[in-house]
Structure 1
Amino acid sequence: MGTVILDRQNRLSSAELRMRLNQLVEHGEDDAAPKQLFEIADFVNQMQIYEGAMYEISTKLEILDTEFQVRFAHDPIHHMERRLKSVDSIMEKLERHGLPLTIESIRNNLFDVAGVRVICNYRDDVYSVSNYLSAQSDIQVLRVKDYIKNPKQNGYRSLHVIYAVPVFLSSGAHYTPVEVQFRTIAMDYWASLEHALRYKSDIDDAKLNEHEQTLLDCARSLQNVETQMQTIHRDINGAPQGGEAPVEMPRREEGDDLSDFSWL
């Protein structure tokens, strides 16, 4: 069975995007700011490139998953999710960090406009898939944050990798960043529910803080269950132990402006 891919929004519609940009220009408190950012044609073109990069990465992952199934009778990827940041989300993030509202600012500072979440069956799969993807000759590994080996204080675990992948247009290859989050089913279960509780409900912070320790305990319990399932899988299938996270090795290409960036 092929890899299940969930798109968090419909495919990019240039007509809808232009309409939303025009609305922002017309209703913005500071008329100069939206106009500075949204040279509309340039922005639409840039978003199309981000979408292309997102599909390039997900296609590479699909092919890897199929290869594992053919060679090892094992699907390491349970499913994938893809999304592009909305116009409003892009603007909010630029403003929150005090960055200029320009296309250049997006390119130089926002490396999660295109995102893919890869849900794997086991922790070993997370490292296997991420390393095989990172080893491909046309991929650049720009930044790695391993929250599996070094969980966040609240219990969050996931492997975050920012890749640059070439998008081939009539004008040539455009190396474009995509944030890929690798996590197991158990990690995704906890992260999704914790995020919904923290950001999607009307509960005040004080009430939520009462449950911080319980949420952390749940994360640790799921990790223990996950470790036991991984051990069973290794014993039955002779699966190798997982390796390390990919290594940051950005390669300088002619015209490549992705080597110096901040993680926002």
Structure 2
Amino acid sequence: MDNWEEFLAPYAQAVSELELKLNSLKHQLSYANNHGPIEFVTGRVKTRESILEKMHRRHITKENIVTDMEDIAAVRIMCEFVDDIYQIVSILRKRHDMEIIEERDYIAHKKPSGYRSYHIIIRYSVELVSGTKFLKAEIQIRTLAMNFWATIEHSLNYKYKGEFPPEIAMRLRKTAEAAFLLDTEMSNIHDDIKEAEKLFAQRKRGQIEHERVEREEK
């Protein structure tokens, strides 16, 4: 790749736009329900080093990088509950500003390592000076518990270069199940949690309004 900065610029634009759109979606859903299914949104563009490493590991040629590497641009949506993930998936399927190419449900079908998340590969357009460019991007949707586990697994993966010792691999699988058990238990008291969050939001709005009235009366 002769000019990495030029190559990655459209992907950085895509991440920036997707973060903005998904955060807007977060606020819209929050306004409608006092508490929405999205906790927060993050995004990133793969580094040159990470791209080269994956090209080597997956035997991806320079000519095929745009079609064969789907996560150069990636956005992650964090949710409280597993049900929230599927709600977001349903909403994204109806959008017209992105085309879903593939869905991978690693929640219903976890990876052997214990990894759980919902991945959506999209075709997304960015407007450049040179014209419209279509590229692939990945949207990952997971709970906070899933994300905590995945972050630890990712760090250990760098240490062991993907070859976990049997004991570490076993412990990772056990902790993955523990994280999913937490998600399951939280889902079982989903309604109580939502009601508590709704009451808290109403109380907070009431307090803000009370403080506003007091300031105006002074």
Could you give the per-residue CA deviations for residues 5-40 of structure 1, whole angstroms, max 9, x where no partner exists?
xxxxxxxxxxxxxxxxxxxxxxxxxxxxxxxx31x2
* 1:120 equivalent in alignment to 2:79: yes
Which of the residues 163, 166, 177 maps onto 1:220?
177
Map 1:129-144 → 2, pairs under 5 A: 129-144=88-103
The structure carrying a bigger helix percent of its residues is 2
Correspondence 1:66 to 2:27: yes
Q: Distance in 1 between matches of 2:67 and 2:153?
A: 31
Cα displacement (A) at 1:235: 4.9
Cα RMSD of the aligned pairs, angstroms, is: 2.2
In structure 2, relative to structure 1, the CA distance for the partners of 1:96 and 1:223 (3 Å cut) is: closer
Q: 1:100 to 1:155 in 2, by over 3 A?
A: closer
Name the SS for the 1:161 alignment partner: strand
Structure 1 residues 211 and 92: alpha-carbon distance in aligned structure 2, compared to 1, 3 A threshold? closer
Paired positions, count: 195
Q: Aligned equivalents of 1:92 and 1:201: distance in 2?
A: 15
Which residue of 2 is the match for residue 79 of structure 1? 40
Q: Which moved more, 1:158-167 or 1:79-88?
A: 79-88
Q: Structure 2: how far apart are the matches of 1:100 and 1:211?
A: 33
Q: Distance in 2 between matches of 1:227 and 1:73?
A: 23
Write the distance in 2 (CA, Å) between the matches of 1:167 and 1:73. Answer: 33
Change (3 A) 1:94 1:221: closer
Letter in structure 1 aligned against 2:186 = M
Aligned residue among 182, 185, 205 for 2:141 = 182
**C-alpha distance 171-66 of structure 1, shift in aligned 2 (>3 A):** same
Indicate if the aligned counterparts of 1:53 and 1:177 stay in contact, CA closer than 8 A. Answer: no
1:183 partner amino acid: R
Cα pair distance change 1:172/1:236, threshold 3 Å: same
Distance 1:106 1:198, change over 3 A: closer
- Give 3-state SS (helix, strand or coil) of 1:150's partner: coil
Name the residue aligned to 2:205: none
Counterpart Cα distance in 2 of 1:158 and 1:132: 17
**Counterparts in 2 of 1:119 and 1:200: CA distance versus 1, 3 Å:** farther
Question: What secondary structure is seen at the aligned counterpart in 2 of 1:210?
Answer: helix
Aligned to 2:206: none
Cα displacement string for residues 110-146 of structure 1 (whole angstroms, at most 9, x for unaligned residues):
1111111211111111111222123111210011111
CA contact (8 A) 2:72 2:137 kept: yes
TM-score by structure 2 length?
Answer: 0.80
- Which ranges in structure 1 are unaligned for 5 or more consecutive residues? 1-36, 239-264
User: Distance in 1 between the 2:39 and 2:106 partners?
Assistant: 20
> 2: distance between equivalents of 1:193 and 1:236?
27
Three-state SS of the structure 2 residue aligned to 1:136 is coil
Q: Is the 8 A contact 1:161 1:179 kept in 2?
A: yes
**Equivalent AA in structure 1 for residue 169 of structure 2:** E
Aligned partner of 1:196 in structure 2 is 155
Q: 1:211 to 1:109 in 2, by over 3 A?
A: closer
Q: 1:171 to 1:198 in 2, by over 3 A?
A: closer
Matches within 5 A, 1:1-264: 37-38=1-2, 40=3, 43-102=4-63, 105-200=64-159, 205=163, 208-235=165-192, 237=194
Residue type of the alignment partner of 1:162:
I
Contact 1:165 1:175 in 2 (8 A): yes
The one-letter amino acid of 2:135's match is: T
Say if 1:170 and 1:68 are closer, same or farther in 2 by CA, change over 3 A: same
Q: Give the alignment's TM-score, normalised by structure 1.
A: 0.67
